C-alpha cells in the first residue's frame, strides 16, 4: 500500500514540475532543484517497493544487486577513504550503477496502473509540445526544456511511447507524429536519432510485410531532417563538439593495454592537464573539489566516460543488468532491444545510463501493468483503488 502511495507522489511530482516549467515560459528557467528532489523520491519509491510490494525472489536479480552493491561500496571505500577524492565526483561517476542497484528492487512488481500511466503520458505530451513550441516562438530559449536539457528528458517520451504501444498494441500514429514534432522542435540531433529507432520499431511491428518499403522512405525523411539540424548547428568537422570529445578521449586511451580496456583507469582518475585545459570552457563540469582537475564527465558522451572509468566490462555489466531487470519484469525482447538502442544512442552524446530520465523510464517500463486491456474490469478498478 505504501509503495502505491509513493507511486502517486512520484507522478504528481513530475506533473507539478512540468507545470512549474510551463510557468517559466517567458524566462529561461529549468527546474533543476526539483530534479534533484525527484532523484531522492526515486530512491524512496524503489525502497518502498522493496519493503511493501510483494513479489517472488529472483536469484539472478539478487546476484546482480549484490555484485553492483559490492562494486560501489568497495570503490567508495578506496576512493574516498584512501584517495580522499570528492564524494560528489564519486557519485557522479558511479551514478548509473547506483540507479541500477535501486532499480533491482522493482523487478517483477506491478505498481503502476496502465490507465494512470496513459493519462500521465497524455499530459506530458501536451506539456512538452506547448513549452517547446512557445519557447521557440517567443524566442525565450533556442533549446527548450521542461525538466532538464532536452537531450536528457526526451528519452522519457520515447520510453513512455513503448509502454503505451505495449499496452494498447495500437499504432497511434498521431501520438507518434506528435512525439516527432516535439523532437524536431527540440533541435536535438541525438534525440532525432533516438526517435528514428522508435519509428522503425513501430513500422516494423505494425507492417511486417511492407516495412521493407516504408523504412527506406522514412530513412530519407529522417536523413533530410537530421542534415538540416546538423547544418544549422555545425560548421566544419572540427567545430562539432562531439568530435573534440572523441579526439580528447583517444588522447587519454591511446597508450592503454588490454587490461585498461577491460577495467578502465584506476578508480576516479583525473584526465590529463592537456584535456582539462582544452575543455576549460566547461568549467562547470570540473571537479567539485574546485582544484582545477576534471574527470570523464567533461567528455559528455557516456560511452567515452564509462570506458575511461569502468572499462568495457563495466559497460557490459550495465547493459546486462538493464536487460536482466526488464526481462525479469516481463518486458518483451523487442521492447528491451529498442529501449537499449535508444539509451545507447543517447550515450553517444550525453549521459545515457547516468541520466535520471533513464532511471525514470525504467520505473515505468518495469512496473506498469502491461496487461491492462486483457484483465477483467473489476481487477483494474481494484488496482486503481490501491
**How far is residue 377's CA from residue 285's CA, in Å, rounded to a whole number?**
51
Give me the chain's average pLDDT, please: 84
In which band, very low, low, confident or very high, does the pLDDT at 297 lie, cut at 50, 70 and 90?
very high
Long-range contact list for 92-97, CB < 8 A, 24+ apart?
Answer: 92/295, 92/297, 92/354, 93/268, 93/295, 93/296, 93/297, 93/305, 93/309, 95/354, 96/302, 96/306, 96/318, 96/352, 96/353, 96/354, 96/358, 97/68, 97/71, 97/72, 97/318
125: CB partners within 8 A, 6+ apart: 157, 175, 178, 179, 182
Q: What is the pTM of this model?
A: 0.88
In which band, very low, low, confident or very high, does the pLDDT at 320 lie, cut at 50, 70 and 90?
very high
Q: Does 339 have pLDDT greater than 50?
A: yes
Q: Which three cell numbers stand for residue 333?
A: 525482447
Q: Does 377 have pLDDT greater than 80?
A: no
In which band, very low, low, confident or very high, does the pLDDT at 88 lie, cut at 50, 70 and 90?
very high
How do residues 58-68 score in pLDDT, each as one tens digit?
Answer: 889 999 999 99
How do residues 155-180 score in pLDDT, each as one tens digit?
Answer: 999 999 999 988 887 767 889 999 99
Specify the pLDDT at position 237: 44
Sign of CA dihedral 88, 93, 98, 103: positive
In which band, very low, low, confident or very high, does the pLDDT at 6 lie, cut at 50, 70 and 90?
confident
Specify the pLDDT at position 111: 87
Which DSSP symbol is given to 24? T
The larger pLDDT score, comparing residue 75 to residue 241, is at 75
Mean pLDDT of 99-120: 92
How do residues 214-231 score in pLDDT, each as one tens digit?
Answer: 656 665 566 555 555 555
Amino acid at each position: 500500500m505504501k509503495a502505491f502511495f509513493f507511486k502517486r507522489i512520484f507522478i504528481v511530482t513530475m506533473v507539478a514540475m512540468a507545470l512549474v516549467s510551463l510557468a517559466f515560459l517567458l524566462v529561461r528557467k529549468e527546474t533543476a532543484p526539483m530534479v534533484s528532489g525527484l532523484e531522492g523520491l526515486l530512491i524512496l519509491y524503489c525502497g518502498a517497493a522493496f519493503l511493501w510490494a510483494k513479489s517472488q525472489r529472483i536469484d539472478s536479480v539478487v546476484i546482480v544487486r549484490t555484485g553492483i552493491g559490492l562494486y560501489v561500496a568497495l570503490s567508495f571505500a578506496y576512493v574516498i577513504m584512501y584517495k580522499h577524492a570528492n564524494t560528489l565526483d564519486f557519485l557522479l561517476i558511479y551514478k548509473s550503477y547506483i540507479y541500477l542497484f535501486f532499480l533491482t528492487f522493482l523487478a517483477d512488481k506491478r505498481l503502476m496502473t496502465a490507465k494512470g500511466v496513459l493519462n500521465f503520458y497524455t499530459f506530458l505530451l501536451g506539456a512538452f509540445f506547448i513549452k517547446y513550441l512557445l519557447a521557440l516562438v517567443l524566442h525565450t530559449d533556442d533549446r527548450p526544456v521542461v525538466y532538464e536539457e532536452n537531450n536528457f528528458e526526451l528519452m522519457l517520451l520515447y520510453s513512455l511511447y513503448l509502454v503505451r504501444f505495449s499496452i494498447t498494441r495500437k499504432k497511434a500514429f498521431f501520438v507518434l507524429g506528435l512525439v516527432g514534432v516535439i523532437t524536431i522542435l527540440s533541435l536535438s540531433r541525438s534525440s532525432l536519432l533516438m526517435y528514428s529507432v522508435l519509428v522503425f520499431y513501430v513500422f516494423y511491428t505494425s507492417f511486417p510485410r511492407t516495412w521493407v518499403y516504408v523504412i527506406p522512405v522514412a530513412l530519407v525523411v529522417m536523413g533530410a531532417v537530421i542534415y538540416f539540424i546538423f547544418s544549422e548547428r555545425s560548421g566544419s568537422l572540427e567545430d562539432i563538439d562531439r568530435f573534440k570529445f572523441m579526439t580528447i578521449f583517444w588522447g587519454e586511451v591511446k597508450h592503454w593495454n588490454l587490461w585498461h580496456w577491460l577495467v578502465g583507469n584506476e578508480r576516479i582518475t583525473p584526465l590529463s592537464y592537456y584535456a582539462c585545459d582544452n575543455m576549460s570552457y566547461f568549467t562547470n563540469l570540473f571537479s567539485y573539489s574546485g582544484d582545477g582537475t576534471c574527470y570523464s564527465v567533461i567528455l559528455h558522451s557516456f560511452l567515452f566516460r564509462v570506458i575511461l572509468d569502468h572499462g568495457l566490462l563495466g559497460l557490459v555489466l550495465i547493459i546486462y543488468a538493464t536487460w536482466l531487470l526488464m526481462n525479469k519484469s516481463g518486458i518483451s525482447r523487442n521492447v528491451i532491444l529498442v529501449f537499449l538502442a535508444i539509451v545507447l544512442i543517447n550515450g553517444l552524446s550525453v549521459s545515457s545510463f547516468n541520466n535520471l530520465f533513464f532511471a525514470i523510464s525504467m520505473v515505468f517500463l518495469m512496473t506498469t501493468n502491461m496487461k491492462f486491456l486483457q484483465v477483467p474490469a473489476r481487477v483494474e478498478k481494484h488496482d486503481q483503488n490501491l
